[in-house]
Amino acid sequence: MNRRPFDPRLLRRVPAARRDLAVLAVLGGLTALLVIAQATALATVLATAFDGRLHRPALAGFVAAVAGRALVSWAQGTVAARAAATVKAALRADLLGAVGRHGPTWVAGQRAGQLATLAGRGLDALDPYFTGYLPQLVLSVTVPVAVLARIVFADWSSALIIALTIPLIPIFGALLGWQAQAATERQWRRLSLLGGHFLDMVAGLPTLRAFGRSKGQVDVVRRMADGHRQATMKTLRIAFLSALVLELVATLSVALVAVPVGIRLLGGGLTLSTALLVLLLTPEAYLPLRAAGSRFHASMEGLTALDEALTLSATDAPATTGPVTAAEPRRPAPAGRGEIRFEGVTVAYDRTTALRDVTLTIRPGDRVAIIGPSGAGKSTLLNLLLGFVAPTSGRVTADGVDLSGVDLDAWRRELAWVPQRAHLFAGSLADNIRLGAPDTPDAALAAAVTGAALDEVVDALPDGLDTRLGERGHGLSSGQRQRVALARAFLRDAPVVLLDEPTARLDSASEAVVLDATRRLVAGRTALLVAHRPALLAAADRILRVEDGRVTELHATATGPAVPR
């Protein structure tokens, strides 16, 4: 909770926001001046009205000041929203750009989810921070200072009261905030247990129904919800106390200022317009601080998102995987038809070593199956060729050219990759197959579809190849997804094919279809197949076993029985 209200990294990372924030500060100063102008004009109007006269210039001044405040508040909101939009767009570009810079290995796993949430909707939580909190934060500095300065000239004793009480707001706010937080944390376990209960019950409804207990649980849900209410109320009693104290400080200060001023007026020690000015200005001094305090809570989520985004996009790729970008001009890529050699390759990750001193040669046209327990380093072999991972030591060459330092995009054009679980993108089925080659002619697309045995799938879809797939390819079964991935590989028509357990998650019927397509795909190409099921081995003419980071070649005679078909 003890988060700084402003993250200075923001200015370094998003220089475009500097100007907007500077304008916001200027507008904050302008607001303070207008507050004083408005109060002065109104005080004059009312002091004159005391005698039953209308002070027209002062009234005009008052209206002008109000119009000015309206304009400035509009500008403040607009500029703040502009800043929010600029910052969000810049951070989004940063976050997503980091994906391109660091490569897929960096993104994999938990980080992918975090990045997707942040770059998606997470950053939108910055809106309340920028449009609600930040302008008030500026005002809570400029307005009290300006108001105090003005009142010191008018009536220093009132200024003294204000100067002494204003600091109470942040101090009490912080003290009570801690107090409330401690109390909240004491209740937290209980609250989360109770709050989670409703979710738990709804999630488990099918099971409750299966045992005929669903109706009996309604009372339990009610009882637990009631417990939740009581626990919440206990917390709120303390949490609202802080609001009470802040409210009291602000309103009592008005009374503390107004009553002595009234009594001094009675004694003639003060003019009416000065007294009114002090009265009108006093609440203005407290308002921005309280408003900022009340909006801090709502902007917490935004601050958290900001912190995560700034931290994430500043993360460097781990040294072991090396820079895998194709940003700077690199050496031209070798042809995929040449010999591929691993020369003493070791790949070490943070905690484990995936490959140890691997040396092997893959001749053009070899169909190599790679087997071994999961986690042994099978996928790392493919990732090295794909350039997702760079060797910690040793080198990988193709046609005699070291792959580190070549133009990776060009090199990858020599490869077709079928991952364990292909990602399907939001878009049409055709777009998904044409990934990386959007201008493919229809005939080539149709050939790839046929090659991957996707024809029947396409025919069953309402709009055929133009059917739009839901998020992450929802609507297709795992077997169908793998065939889409195979179709991508067919379309790529590359000399080297890399298949990472393409049938790992399929049932036998889908496996058979995918296997047939796989055999067609590898015919006449160099192929590396990570295999889990023996059925895939039949398509290979060499078998490598990876265990504990070391690679050994098995002889074809030891491959066991052919799989009956």
The Cα 382–Cα 528 span in angstroms is: 8
Torsional class of 549: left (φ above 0), alpha (ψ -120 to 50), beta (otherwise): left
In the complex, minimum distance from the CB of residue 489 to another protein, in angstroms, rounded to a whole number: 9
DSSP string, 442-453: HHHHHHHHHHTT
Q: Does 122 bind another protein (CB under 8 A)?
A: yes
The Cα 346–Cα 354 span in angstroms is: 8
CB < 8 Å & 24+ apart, contacts of 352-359: 353/549, 354/380, 354/389, 354/549, 355/380, 355/381, 355/384, 355/546, 355/549, 355/550, 355/551, 356/548, 356/549, 356/550, 357/394, 357/550, 358/394, 358/549, 358/550, 358/551, 359/394
Kind plus residue range of the DSSP H or E element containing 91: helix 56-102
Q: Does 218 bind another protein (CB under 8 A)?
A: yes
Q: Does 266 bind another protein (CB under 8 A)?
A: yes
Q: Does 525 bind another protein (CB under 8 A)?
A: no
Applying the rule CB under 8 A, the residues between 528 and 547 that interact with another protein are 533-535, 537, 543, 545
Q: Does 255 bind another protein (CB under 8 A)?
A: yes
Give, in degrees to the nearest 5, the angle at Cα 564 between 558 and 565. Answer: 135
Phi and psi torsions of 220, nearest 5°: -65, -45
* Bridge partners, 331 (sequence order): 406
Angle between the N-to-C axes of helices 168-203 and 217-266, in degrees from 0 to 180, rounded to the nearest 10: 170
**400 or 438, CB closer to another protein?**
438
Distance of CA 289 to the CA centre of its chain: 30
Q: Does 239 bind another protein (CB under 8 A)?
A: yes
Applying the rule CB under 8 A, the residues between 430 and 459 that interact with another protein are 435-438
Q: Does 504 bind another protein (CB under 8 A)?
A: no
Candidate ranges 2-10, 153-161, 386-394, 447-455; the one touching another protein (CB under 8 A): 386-394
The Cα 333–Cα 335 span in angstroms is: 7
In the complex, minimum distance from the CB of residue 195 to another protein, in angstroms, rounded to a whole number: 8
Kind plus residue range of the DSSP H or E element containing 499: strand 496-500
Q: Does 67 bind another protein (CB under 8 A)?
A: yes
Closest CA to 369 of 378, 360, 361, 377: 378
Q: Which of 164, 259, 314, 556 binds another protein (CB under 8 A)?
A: 259
Q: Does 518 bind another protein (CB under 8 A)?
A: no
Q: Does 59 bind another protein (CB under 8 A)?
A: yes
Q: Does 78 bind another protein (CB under 8 A)?
A: yes
Q: Does 244 bind another protein (CB under 8 A)?
A: yes
Distances (CA, A) of 563 to 362, 539, 544: 25, 11, 19
Candidate ranges 59-67, 141-149, 352-360, 389-397; the one touching another protein (CB under 8 A): 59-67
The Cα 345–Cα 350 span in angstroms is: 17
Q: Does 174 bind another protein (CB under 8 A)?
A: no
Q: Which of 24, 168, 250, 544 binds another protein (CB under 8 A)?
A: 250
Applying the rule CB under 8 A, the residues between 80 and 99 that interact with another protein are 80-82, 84-86, 88-89, 92-93, 96-97, 99
In the complex, minimum distance from the CB of residue 180 to another protein, in angstroms, rounded to a whole number: 8
Candidate ranges 61-69, 139-147, 336-344, 359-367; the one touching another protein (CB under 8 A): 61-69
Q: Does 171 bind another protein (CB under 8 A)?
A: no
Q: Which of 1, 71, 149, 314 binds another protein (CB under 8 A)?
A: 71
Per rule CB under 8 A, count of chain residues that contact another protein: 178
In the complex, minimum distance from the CB of residue 54 to another protein, in angstroms, rounded to a whole number: 5
In the complex, minimum distance from the CB of residue 344 to another protein, in angstroms, rounded to a whole number: 25
Q: Does 287 bind another protein (CB under 8 A)?
A: yes
Contact letters for another protein, residues 7-36 (x by CB under 8 A): ------------------------------
Q: Does 312 bind another protein (CB under 8 A)?
A: no
**59 or 145, CB closer to another protein?**
59
Distances (CA, A) of 377 to 348, 354, 505: 11, 5, 19
User: Which amino acid, one-letter code, is at 452?
Assistant: A
Q: Going by C-beta distance under 8 Å and a sequence separation of 6 or more, which residues neighbour residue 459? A: none
Q: Does 163 bind another protein (CB under 8 A)?
A: no
